[in-house]
Structure 1
Amino acid sequence: MLFSLFHFLSGYCRIVLSGMNQERFLNLCAAKQILLWNIKREGKHYIFYISRGGYKELQEISEKTGSTFRCIQKKGIPYLFCRYKKRKCFALALLFCTAIFIVMSCFIWQVQVTGSYGHSEEELLDYLEKKGVRSGTKISGFSCARLEEQIRKDFEDIAWVSCERKGTLLRVRVKETLDKRDQKEGEMQESPCNLIASKKGRISSILVRSGSAKVKKGDKVKPGDVLISGVVEIKDDAGEIAEETLVRAQGDVYAISKIKYEDHFPLIYYKKNYTGKTEKSYRFLINGYTIKMPERKTAYAEYDEQSREILLHIGPQFYLPVSLFVITKAQCQISKENYSVSQAKKEARKRLFLFLKEYERKGVVILKNNVRIDSDKNECTAKGIIKIKERVGKVQEIPSTLDGEKDIKQEPAVLNR
């Protein structure tokens, strides 16, 4: 690859060698250290490639050996410039395009956000725009590390974020979790704090990293109850409290709780039957401005419309501030249908599965599903109680003094003894 690029920049020729003493001709080229490559024998001729500098020395070797040579092809930048040297407009246009290419490579032209469920892509893009990250942001004044830190700070439910810039494309990937607020405040905050219950439940397990446990497995808690205290008591040999220390309470507390589930939908629904006929139209989005291409009025009375965005780019990393939207209109016939009892229950189970899947994605464990599905003539109803296990710890700051009477020493962390 580098070999071909070097010769394209310096220029090279394709030569046909004929006549007598052809082997001596090639040997003299080797003696003079003239680089030849891709040498092939075709009938009574040799065909090979030679650099632009070596081509100038072939005439002298040809006179010594009596061989004749003919250039059948010239390639490379020098020959390209010689071909178009009289076309000044072409040269100026080439220089202008090169300058535009260099200037545009100094900016971010496309921003992508992926991995978010709780926040829509439009919401995150609006947030990034308020932070000054948009199409046209200068690369030199942009920091991926700073942006990652800002997103983690402003979105408590985003546990992990990665900002990666490839050329003129900025790709932001996020991962959400239900416990981000507890993790962030419990592990990063410097001030002393307690870990309190965020909801009602029965404790299933508790692991203390720092602080003092105030509950045990099997205890029932309600919102606001202290689970792990940030006040650690240090006792002397007599078993009396000698000192109290404030720390940042840290740990994993899981509780079993119940959630109510209710869903209902009518048995009558509308089904789309596609005919296979489609129409396509195109639109360009240039740095926020939409340009509609001419299109004829659709002949379909009923159709389903889908849009697909194509980011235009030169090579794998040079993305342009231009997107092509391909809008497909698929003709369909809408018919009124009715769920049977078995179909309705199957649809209800599907909707329940998606509901539970969303909870599981957030780290919640489904222990028991007591949802009952019933169907009458008009609608299908799903109701019941779902037993779950989830983290319930929530950070609550505590003052550096208790009851305003005595100061308590603060330490970074003390393991539960």
Structure 2
Amino acid sequence: MTGESPERFFNLCAASGLDIWDVIFSKGNYIFSMGIHDFFSSKPFIKKAKIRLRIQQKLGLPFFLHKNRKRKLWAAGFLSFFVFLWVLSFFVWDIGYQGNVMYTDDELSHFLDTLGIHCGIMKNQVSCEELEAALRNEYEGITWVSARLSGTKLYIHVKENDVPLEIPVKDDSPCDLAAESDGTITSMIVRSGTPLVKPGDEVEKGQILVSGMVPITDDGGTVISGRYVHSDADIIAVRERTESREIPLWHEKEEKTGRVRKGLMMNIKEHSFVWLLPNFRNTEWKTVTEIRKIRLFGDFYLPMELGFITSCEVSSYDVKYTEKELEELGEAYKNEIAEKLMEKGVQIIENNVKILVNGSSCRFEVTMRTEESIEMETEIEAQGETQGEQPADEHN
């Protein structure tokens, strides 16, 4: 704004209720902002104040649309994008499961496919109540189901039954208890049957430890008959274990060269599109792809996945294990066996490993001294008296 009385112009605008803001005085000129309606209403004041107004910049949606009125394709594309998103919002593009341990996601998804529920189905075709009832009827281990639609995602939350569905039937058929391996008995608690060994005895594999035949004696102690029962006992013994593994002495080793290629992958339904520079040198590469489901916000998922590809060039060559590496492998093998046995309740007393190199191979031999349960059931034929129950007794 330039002219004789800019202050009078401001006073007239203020008296008439016209809004003016961001007033700046620079190089003898006033620069300010005002609304388009107020601008046209201020024209009578321009003559009274003897000033000149020149528009420097026009801001706002009406001016933007007028400026780009010839860009019809751009406007159509912009509008089509939001129409496309609006159409996608009527479909289910992702299914999530929560609380399932006994039944995997793939197993539940396969069952949903049989019901016609899958990614791409319209949301109005999904009845959450019917889906919940179908899952409860199909899987006995599921006691509670909650299905809900949020955005373009179907959430299925289940609770599984922690109590066994079937109570195992107790086996009361007559049997003996035999040694599963050689060893020395350290403790013995017999609840049913006749013990044939005692703590401190050395036993062999297959030897009967507890007989299923319980003798019946008269008042004089003479055996007059017997009855056959299901032997039951806890028999602990010290035994020797041996395990072995053989590996080639030479193995392939990979080293990264430092060359890296990065790219993108787009999955749309069953179609995949990959953008990655080709391997012009025909060398070996190790590729890792991190795939993410695309969502705009919240639970608004789209029917596509975006993958970030990282490919590293590697150089492979054969190398021989060093003595230190063999020792580390042997120690790891020994610890692996020990962990598996301890998970079963086996107590490790001694644990040693030998490393035997023979030509182009290496053999690890693990010898262990353990304390564990060694009884196993063996069937017998009931003879004499009919099968009965023996009062519980303990033998230490």
Give the structure-2-normalised TM-score: 0.53
Q: Which moved more, 1:94-103 or 1:137-146?
A: 137-146
The one of 325, 328, 331 equivalent to 1:345 is 331
The one of 307, 312, 316 equivalent to 2:289 is 307
Q: Distance in 1 between matches of 2:269 and 2:111?
A: 17
SS in 2 for 1:74: coil
Change (3 A) 1:79 1:149: farther
Question: Which amino acid counterpart does residue 168 of structure 1 have in structure 2?
Answer: T
The one of 322, 339, 363 equivalent to 2:304 is 322
Matches within 5 A, 1:198-347: 271-293=253-275, 296-297=278-279, 299=281, 301-314=283-296, 318-334=300-316, 335-336=318-319, 338=321, 339-346=325-332
SS in 2 for 1:72: coil
Q: Distance in 2 between matches of 1:133 and 1:24?
A: 73
Pair member with larger Rg? 2
Q: Distance in 1 between matches of 2:23 and 2:17?
A: 19
Is the 8 Å Cα contact of residues 334 and 353 (structure 2) preserved in structure 1? no
Matches within 5 A, 1:363-374: 370=347, 374=352
Question: Which amino acid counterpart does residue 41 of structure 1 have in structure 2?
Answer: I
SS in 1 for 2:116: coil
Question: Which amino acid counterpart does residue 345 of structure 1 have in structure 2?
Answer: E
Compute the displacement of 1:263 (Å). Answer: 9.5
> Residue 137 of structure 1 aligns with which residue?
121
Question: Which amino acid counterpart does residue 100 of structure 1 have in structure 2?
Answer: F
Output one character per residue of 1:154-204: Cα deviation in whole Å (capped at 9) or x when no partner. 5566788776755334566778xxxx334597xxxxxxxxx846999xxxx
Compute the displacement of 1:147 (Å). Answer: 5.0
Is the 8 Å Cα contact of residues 245 and 364 (structure 2) preserved in structure 1? yes
> Residue 56 of structure 1 aligns with which residue?
40
Q: Distance in 1 between matches of 2:337 and 2:143?
A: 27
Change (3 A) 1:147 1:308: farther
SS in 1 for 2:57: strand
Q: Distance in 2 between matches of 1:156 and 1:121?
A: 16
Question: Which amino acid counterpart does residue 375 of structure 1 have in structure 2?
Answer: V
Change (3 A) 1:100 1:130: same
Compute the displacement of 1:305 (Å). Answer: 2.4
Is the 8 Å Cα contact of residues 132 and 145 (structure 2) preserved in structure 1? yes
Output one character per residue of 1:194-237: Cα deviation in whole Å (capped at 9) or x when no partner. x846999xxxxxxxxxxxxxxxxxxx9xxxxxxxxxxxxxxxxx
Compute the displacement of 1:35 (Å). Answer: 4.8
> Residue 77 of structure 1 aligns with which residue?
61
Q: Which moved more, 1:287-296 or 1:162-171?
A: 162-171
Change (3 A) 1:327 1:88: closer
Compute the displacement of 1:300 (Å). Answer: 5.2
> Residue 207 of structure 2 aligns with which residue?
none
Compute the displacement of 1:313 (Å). Answer: 4.3
Q: Distance in 2 between matches of 1:352 and 1:42?
A: 86
Output one character per residue of 1:69-101: Cα deviation in whole Å (capped at 9) or x when no partner. 433333333223222334444444444333323
Q: Percent identity?
A: 23
> Residue 83 of structure 2 aligns with which residue?
99
Q: Distance in 2 between matches of 1:97 and 1:385?
A: 71
Structure 2 residue runs without a partner (length 5+)? 172-190, 192-241, 356-362, 374-396
> Residue 24 of structure 2 aligns with which residue?
41
Compute the displacement of 1:309 (Å). Answer: 1.4
Q: Distance in 2 between matches of 1:385 and 1:67?
A: 107
SS in 1 for 2:161: helix
SS in 2 for 1:71: coil
Q: Distance in 1 between matches of 2:98 and 2:244?
A: 32
The one of 161, 183, 204 equivalent to 1:181 is 161
Q: Distance in 1 between matches of 2:96 and 2:167?
A: 38
Question: Which amino acid counterpart does residue 91 of structure 2 have in structure 1?
Answer: F
Is the 8 Å Cα contact of residues 373 and 380 (structure 1) preserved in structure 2? no
SS in 2 for 1:56: helix
Q: Distance in 2 between matches of 1:171 and 1:327?
A: 29
Compute the displacement of 1:367 (Å). Answer: 11
Compute the displacement of 1:324 (Å). Answer: 2.8
Question: Which amino acid counterpart does residue 283 of structure 1 have in structure 2?
Answer: M
Number of residue pairs matched?
289
Compute the displacement of 1:136 (Å). Answer: 1.7
Change (3 A) 1:326 1:94: closer
SS in 2 for 1:274: strand
Change (3 A) 1:345 1:97: same
Change (3 A) 1:184 1:332: same
Compute the displacement of 1:125 (Å). Answer: 4.0
Q: Distance in 1 between matches of 2:294 and 2:252?
A: 38
Structure 1 residue runs without a partner (length 5+)? 1-16, 186-194, 201-219, 221-261, 357-365, 388-417
Matches within 5 A, 1:110-125: 110-112=94-96, 121-125=105-109
